[in-house]
Amino acid sequence: MCTNLVISCSCGKDKANVMNKNNILPPHAIRKLYCPECSKSVEFDASTMIQDNGWIIEYNLPLIEATFTRLNVSEIEITPETIFDNGYCSWNGLTPKELDEGRKQRAEIVKLAKVDMKAYLEKLKNWGNQRMEELKKQGWRKAQRGAY
C-alpha cells in the first residue's frame, strides 16, 4: 500500500501528490520539488533530478541509496529515471494533480448516472482512454510510457 504525500513546491505556489511504492522510501526522498513556475530558475541536474512537463523532482539520492542498501535492494540502478519510472517515488497517478483532477472529472460523470444510465456507462467506459490520450499529448512522462 502506498501513502499519498502532498508536497509543496519550492516557491510555495503549488503542490503535488506523490507516492512512494510500498512506502519503501521515506517522504524526504524528495529533496525539493519545483512547479513549472519555480522550475524556470533552476539549473537542471540530471544526476539528481527528473523533469516532467515543467515540473522537476530533485531526489535525495544518498538517502535513497542508503535505504535500498539497508533493505538489500540491489537489482536496480539508482537513477532519477529508475526511481520515478518504477514508482519508487513519483506522482500519485499520471500527473502531480491526478488525484484532484481525476476525482473532479469522475464526480461529473457520476452525476450523469442519475439522469441517463446508458450515457453514464458509455462516458465512463471511454473516459479513462480519452484521459490517457490527452495526457500523452500534453507530454506527461507516465502517460507516454503507459504507466499508471
Q: Report the percentage of the chain scoring pLDDT > 70.
A: 98
Whether residues 51 and 81 share a domain: the answer is yes
Domain that holds residue 134: 98-144
Strand (E) or helix (H) holding 110: helix 98-113
Residue 78: which region, alpha, beta or left (left: phi > 0; alpha: psi -120 to 50)?
Answer: beta
Render pLDDT for 7-39 as a digit per residue (tens, 0 to 9): 999 999 999 999 999 999 999 999 999 999 999
Same structural domain, 59 and 76:
yes
Number of domains composing the chain: 2
Helix H or strand E encompassing 68: helix 61-70
Supply the DSSP symbol for 139.
Answer: T
Statement to judge: residues 83 and 110 lie in one domain: no
The answer on 113 and 81 residing in a single domain is no
Bridging pattern class, strands 15-19 and 30-34: unpaired
Query: For 88-126, how does the pLDDT look when each residue is reduced to its tens digit (9 = 90+)?
Result: 999 999 999 998 888 888 888 999 888 999 999 999 889
